[in-house]
Structures are given as structure tokens and as C-alpha cells.
Structure 1
Amino acid sequence: MNIKTEKIQLPGHETWTLFQLENDQGMSVHFLNFGGIITNISVPDRNGDYKNVVLSYKNFEEYLENSGYLGALIGRVAGRIKQASFQIDGKEYKVEANEGEHHLHGGSQGFHQRLWQASSFENDGEIGVTLSCLSPGMEGGYPGTLKVEVTYRLTNKNQLVIDYAAETSQTTVLTLTNHSYFNLSGHPDTTVHHHTLRLNSARFAELDEELIPTGEWLNLKETPFGFQNQRKLSSSLSYETPQQIVVNGGIDHYFLFDGYNKPDILLKDEKSGRTLEIETDQPGAVIYTSNNLPAGKDLAKGQTKKHGGICIETQSYPASLHNSGFPEIVLTPEQPYHKRTLFKFGTETTQ
């Protein structure tokens, strides 16, 4: 196992570090200390051919804007906060309205735009890097000084483990995630229509026309999103139902895990044989099939396009700030934040 680093210098900006982790099996994970952005996850297909299975820009300059949040750490709050406001103990807090009247993914200067401190480590059977930052109280409108650590671990079992930890000086709101777009084919010029997905979930959050939760849960069995059994994504990437129409043809919804079976999520590309199992202690995940990904940006191979990747954003849900019955995101000084998501890559031998 080894860790390599490369300095990235863009004119007029602080120097970034690109970390390159490789295990004894040949799997590699690359990421920046800028935004914690994952730029490469290279894994084999059934024939042993290694390809990058996450969307990444051809030029590092694109990450300065990164309107699609490719590969980035998201915080303080992943997802949308209705009307860019919330209350804690009866006091109202206003955050940036960076998507219409609403707040998205921590605002324009969220954690995806931060240069993180980084320290690497090597343990028995794993290597990794811990990214850390201090977010002052009222930064971006959020109360509480927040200490955050996010650790990327690569194991010899072809697992990428992301550990999230945080402590706050006063009661605040927090839910962190990673926004990588997966395309297990290794060919970003294709779409994910032929990927298959299984979700251990029976319901998802209904959205209005501004992609804000209505406060209602919908039963998966009554929609094209019934992924309790493995099925092709192509069945959901259309405009057949109101919930597909509001998200521009596809999926961009929060699914609540049933908690009974593992893995929580299984994604497959039958042609290459690559598989991705995801296990987490988060209560659910936003599944986003890049319906509104800005098109025409140069990737390492190909260009960004609609349905070119699938994001699996494990998290709690900011809908809980305005509705009951959703996973809470309030964080107190007495109970630090600790969450883990494990991505296990493998192959199936037959097509």
C-alpha cells in the first residue's frame, strides 16, 4: 500500500494537494484537500481492466466553480433548506439563498470550497488521510463554532471508508456527505441507464416543483422508484410520473433505509461486471441521477451530460427543520457527530 502526493498550483490560488492512495490489489483513490474532492476511484472489471468509476473534470480549474459538486464534501448541511432559514430553540437563523429562495449544500462557500488541513496515516491493512477544518460560529449564517474531521480510508479489501466527525460549541444543524457521481462502466461518455440498483428502502420523500420536500412520504411500490429488488435505472430515468417530472426526468429524492438488511445499497454495471455495495449508519440517502448536471464540461474522458452518473448521498435530511417525521440534523455540544459510510467495490464473473 502506498500514498503519493502531488501539488496543484492554479494561478491566483493557494496550492492544493492531490492525494493518491493505492492498495495491494491495485485499487486507487485520488482526492484533493480542496473541497475533499474525489477525482478518481480506479477499480477492475471482471477481466481485470482498471478504470476510473467516478466523474472527474479534465482540468482542475473546473473545481473552482464546480456547479455540479463533482466528488465534493458537502456541508454544513447537505441538501436543501426551505426558504434558507430554520429555527433552533425558537430563534431564527438565516443562511444564504443560493438556489432561488432556498439554501443548497452549505451555500456557495460551503465545505466543497474549503481548503482542508490534511494528515496521512497507514495502519494494518489500510491507508488514509484525515481532512480537518474549523468553521467559526455564524459562518454562512450557521450558529456554533464547528470542528470537523473527515477521514478517507482505503483498505486491502477494496473498500473506501469515509468517516465524518464533528463537535460544536453550541446547538446547530449538521449533516455531511460526499457528492461523487458513479459510473461503474468506466466510460463517462455513456449514461447509467443500464446500471441496476437495489435499495433497502420502502419510502421516499415527496418533492414540490422547487425540489423542496412537501412533508409527505411516498410508498416506493406505487412509483417507478421501487428498487427493493435489483432493477435497471432506465425504468426511472423518464418523465412518466409527477415526481419524475419535477426533478427533470429521473431521481433526486431522499430514501429512508429500512435498517433490516445489508448492504443498504447495491449498484451494478452488468456489462463490466463492476459492483458497488454501500453500508452506512446514516438513516437514508439522496439518490440523484444527474438530471440537472450542467452539460458540456470536459471530463477526464468525455463530457458531462444528463444521466452521466449517479450520486448516492448518505445523510440525514434537512426537511426535518420544517416537518416532523424526518431524520433530525440538530447537533448539540453534548453529543458529537460521528457517521460512517463504506463503499465496497467488487465484480461479478458472469454477464
Structure 2
Amino acid sequence: MELNRRTVIASAAAAGIAASALGGTAEAAPGAASHGRRPVKEHFGTLADGTKVYRWSLENGGTALKVLSYGGIVQSLEIPDRHGRRANVSLGFDSLDDYVASSPYFGALIGRYGNRIAKGRFTLDGKTYQLSVNDGDNSLHGGAKGFDKRVWDVEPFVSGSDVGLRLHHTSVDGDMGYPGTLRATVTYTLTRGGDWIIDYEATTDKATVVNLTSHVYWNLAGEGSGSIEDHELQIAAARYTPTDAGLIPTGELAKVAGTPFDFRRAKPVGRDIRAGHPQQVLAKGYDHNWVLDKGITAEPEHIATLRDPASGRTLRIATDQPGLQFYSGNFLDGTLTGTSGRTYRQGDALCLETQHFPDSPNQPAFPSTVLRPGETYRTRTVHRFSA
């Protein structure tokens, strides 16, 4: 594994990903259009400062996305089951007010730094930076007003048989304590075969740290349908990063063998979730970074498969990143009501966030997340759906 290679030089393929990397083929679903249709824009709500928020709807290859300019949020993602019946498999809200007031990052773009940084502090080139602290003593997902709470500029596109959105945001020097003006572009693409591809790109005018990701909450049986403990999950990782009580990595790369963290072979999410492992007690389930066997790669490689046996819906994920955060929805507590009008309880969804490791700026042995002027941060994650 290339533990010292920087993400800024990890390049993604410019024109898609080989079907073999994810398994299966990328053919259009029966009855699906053979070319992308331009996304449709509608007003979704207005923030307290008067800023208008829009929702974009796009569809291709049997997959349908609804995306908000606020936070780049995936409000819904619909895919068919084995009988061709579509359902929204992503948790979310009906109103902008709910996203602003109480969202646990439902469907959001995360930045500048996905996951946690200890004490909200790191030192780079001899200078120490204090970040916004919003998770106990730590900084989580970019701080109190991360990229998930910003309104992005959205540009729709149709390119050949693909359809998508390019989202742009500029984070100024000092934003949430981070150095450098960061210019980020995130591209959502739906392919003719129904794949959802996320391309992340960023540049800076001062040395900084970057770790962008997506925070979709998955329930392949359908949003609001209940527990995901029967979902079968496979993760191509022989190690994970144990944490302290604040969910900050200790620095150890622990073996999953013989522990509830072993998902090298597919197993139900709920099989070992109550095994009482000390790490599960700290996190109230799974909320850890898996160290992917492949390490950093020039192009996305298959790293995880999630399947709902009841519906047959299957999600295969490929990435060029070295880590995957698997979060089992431990802090959903029944106080939030989703788009179906049903409440979300613990374990009603899970997250699979492709990423660099948490707290990497303070862990020299972890892959670097430093981005410098003249370099371009690029990374790609591919979601392939089947039933």
C-alpha cells in the first residue's frame, strides 16, 4: 500500500471506468433513454439571508437523481429493484428548513476535510492552524459551516450519452480556519448504464489540506423502509483504523481478521453489530475508516459491494482513494422525518464514504492530504447499480 503518496497526484480516468473494475456491464436499463436528457431546474426554497436554493432533477439509464444547490445535497436517488420498480434509496428531507436546522449531513458534499481532525488543529510547514470545532473538541466535516452548508453554483450538462451537473464553490483563505483560497469543482455524472460518478477537483493558492467526499445515507430497500441490518456488505480491506473515545484514529492499522470489522466476505451488516467489541462500544456500532487493500490508485478500483437481498438492489463502489468510512447510522434517533413521511431510527441507513483517513494532517504515517499551489486535487468515485 502506498501510504505516503499524496492524493493531489492521484489521477482519475478522464473518460469513465472499465466495467471489469466494478463487475458486470454498463448497459442501459430496459426502456431507458439512450442519451442523457438535460437536467431540470426548479426553486426549492430560500435561506434566511434571501439566497435562493434550487433543485436539479436528472435521469439516465434507469437512475434518477435530485440534487440541491445547497450543500450539493443528493435529496433523492431512485433505482429499480429486480422487478423494475424504482425506489428512493437515499435518506433526505422534503424542505430546505429541515436541511438547515437538523440534517446529519444527509446526501451532502463534504469539505474542506471529510471526517475528523483532532482538536480542530494541525501544523503545516511550521505553522499551526486552528479550525472550527463542531464535534466535541474536534473538527468534523469541515467545521460548523462546511461545504455541506454552502450554496454551490450549478452548471448542467449533456455530453454524448451522459448527463450531469458541475458544482462550483470557492472557499476563501481562512474559511473555517483553513489556509488558502480553495476553488472546488464537483461533477455528478449519470451514465447511459445508470452509473453515478462523482469527480472531485480543487486548486489552492496556499498550502492547505483537502479531503472531499459524499455523505449519502443508503437504504437499498427504500428510504424510510426500516433497518439496513439485513443488507449484505463486502469491503476489500484487511485493516481498519481504531479510534479513541472521540473517534479520532489512534494511528494503528489494525487487522480485521477475527473481529466484527471483517467484511472481506459479504455478510449481513447486523450479524456482528452487537458483538460488544470495544471499538463498537465507542462508536455505538460501526463508524470507522477501513484501510483499502488497493491503496491509492491512478484509476478507480472496486472496493465495496452493498446488497439488499429482499429487493435485489445492489450497489458496487469503485474509487482511487485509500480509505472508506463505513457508518451504520448509529446516531439516527427517531427525531427526524424523511421524504416518505416516516421517521429515521438507529440503523435505518448506512454511509460508505470514500476518503483519505481521518486526522491525516496529524498522522505522518497516513497518506498525505496536503495540497500546494500549482497542484490539482483530483479523485473519482463510481457507484454502479444493479438488481
- The answer to whether TM tops 0.5 is yes
Equivalent positions of 1:9-88 (< 5 A) are 9-10=45-46, 12=48, 13-23=50-60, 25-88=61-124
CA contact (8 A) 1:9 1:15 kept: yes
For structure 1, the residue ranges without an aligned partner over 5 or more in a row are none
Equivalent positions of 1:284-303 (< 5 A) are 284-301=323-340, 302-303=342-343
**Per the alignment, in what secondary structure is the counterpart of residue 115 of structure 1?**
coil
Matching residue within 269, 274, 290 for 1:255: 290
Instruction: Give the letter aligned to residue 288 of structure 2.
Output: H
Instruction: Give the letter aligned to residue 120 of structure 2.
Output: A
Matching residue within 207, 219, 232 for 1:171: 207
Matching residue within 150, 173, 181 for 1:114: 150
Q: Distance in 2 between matches of 1:11 and 1:318?
A: 31
Within the alignment, does 1:345 sit opposite 2:385 as a pair? Answer: yes
Within the alignment, does 1:95 sit opposite 2:131 as a pair? Answer: yes
**Per the alignment, in what secondary structure is the counterpart of residue 215 of structure 1?**
coil
CA 1:198–1:11: 2 relative to 1, 3 Å: closer
Q: After superposition, what is the alpha-carbon deviation per residue over 1:203-235, rounded to whole angstroms, capped at 9, x for unaligned? A: 000011111111111111131111111111012
Displacement of 1:244:
0.5
CA 1:324–1:181: 2 relative to 1, 3 Å: same
CA contact (8 A) 1:318 1:329 kept: no
CA 1:262–1:134: 2 relative to 1, 3 Å: closer
1:311 corresponds to = 351
Q: After superposition, what is the alpha-carbon deviation per residue over 1:7-36, rounded to whole angstroms, capped at 9, x for unaligned? A: 11236341111010011x332011101100
2:362 corresponds to = 322
Q: TM-score, normalised by structure 1?
A: 0.95
Within the alignment, does 1:281 sit opposite 2:316 as a pair? Answer: no
Instruction: Give the letter aligned to residue 96 of structure 2.
Output: F
Within the alignment, does 1:233 sit opposite 2:272 as a pair? Answer: no
CA 1:318–1:333: 2 relative to 1, 3 Å: farther
Q: Distance in 2 between matches of 1:93 and 1:238?
A: 39
Normalized per residue, the structure richer in strand is 1
CA contact (8 A) 1:96 1:140 kept: yes
**Per the alignment, in what secondary structure is the counterpart of residue 246 of structure 1?**
helix
Displacement of 1:326:
1.5
CA contact (8 A) 2:47 2:53 kept: no
**Per the alignment, in what secondary structure is the counterpart of residue 61 of structure 1?**
helix
RMSD over aligned Cα, in angstroms?
Answer: 1.5
Displacement of 1:254:
0.4
CA contact (8 A) 1:143 1:172 kept: yes
Within the alignment, does 1:218 sit opposite 2:258 as a pair? Answer: no
Q: After superposition, what is the alpha-carbon deviation per residue over 1:56-114, rounded to whole angstroms, capped at 9, x for unaligned? A: 11333111134410000000000111011000011100001111111111011110000
**Per the alignment, in what secondary structure is the counterpart of residue 257 of structure 2?**
helix
Within the alignment, does 1:264 sit opposite 2:303 as a pair? Answer: yes
CA contact (8 A) 2:144 2:176 kept: no
Instruction: Give the letter aligned to residue 345 of structure 1.
Output: F
**Per the alignment, in what secondary structure is the counterpart of residue 63 of structure 1?**
helix
Q: After superposition, what is the alpha-carbon deviation per residue over 1:170-214, rounded to whole angstroms, capped at 9, x for unaligned? A: 110000000000000014231110000111100000011111111
Displacement of 1:124:
1.2
CA 1:150–1:227: 2 relative to 1, 3 Å: same
Instruction: Give the letter aligned to residue 16 of structure 1.
Output: V
Displacement of 1:5:
1.3
Within the alignment, does 1:135 sit opposite 2:171 as a pair? Answer: yes
More deviation in 319-328 or 111-120?
319-328
More deviation in 320-329 or 214-223?
320-329
For structure 2, the residue ranges without an aligned partner over 5 or more in a row are 1-35
Number of aligned residue pairs: give it: 345
Q: TM-score, normalised by structure 2?
A: 0.86
Q: Distance in 2 between matches of 1:129 and 1:187?
A: 23
Q: Distance in 2 between matches of 1:30 and 1:336?
A: 28
**Per the alignment, in what secondary structure is the counterpart of residue 252 of structure 2?**
strand
CA contact (8 A) 2:45 2:95 kept: no
Instruction: Give the letter aligned to residue 345 of structure 2.
Output: K
